[in-house]
Amino acid sequence: MTKKRFLIVDDDQRFADLIAAKLSGHAQCAVALGGEDAVLQFEYQLRNNKPFDAVFMDIEMPGMNGHEVVARMRDGEKRNNVNPLSAFKLIMLTAHKDVKNISTSFFKGGADAFIPKEYIGEKLVQELKNIQLI
């Protein structure tokens, strides 16, 4: 079986590397430290028939926020005729726990999971099992 491919998007290098290390036993992980880089990596892999199985997205980033990045990625999938059943799973990793960001993540971005950063150590693997990603 082919190893899954995850893209971790966060402007905090240490946090992104921590998530990549936690997930390295489950998937091949790539890191993007901002929105533009994330969109470029995502679209490059999509065009080369090596799409990411999941994207782990921070919301607050300089320049383009996580919601904007997700919208561009979802548009890229539509432009490339990706079957919605094969679309990437979206896991929002953020310090925000407010209702607006949670509802935007799920209803506009199609998030599969929303994990506050403060609970990442205890909830990350369990949430990924819950959504059948690992």
Give pLDDT tens digits for 12-27. 999 999 999 999 999 9
* 79-to-43, 76, 89 alpha-carbon distances in Å: 10, 5, 18
pLDDT value, residue 98:
66
Is 6 part of any domain? no
**pLDDT score recorded for residue 99:** 61
At residue 102, the pLDDT reads 64
DSSP secondary structure string, 71-86? HHHHHHHHHTT--GGG
Q: Is residue 20 part of a domain?
A: yes
Q: Which domain holds residue 112?
A: 12-130
Q: Is residue 2 scored above 80 in pLDDT?
A: no
**CATH code, domain with 101:** 3.40.50.2300
Is residue 74 a part of any domain in this protein?
A: yes
For residues 35-44, average pLDDT: 97
Residue 57 within any structural domain of the chain: yes
Q: Per residue in 66-119, pLDDT tens?
A: 999 999 999 999 999 999 999 999 999 888 666 666 666 665 668 899 888 888
Total count of domains within the chain: 1
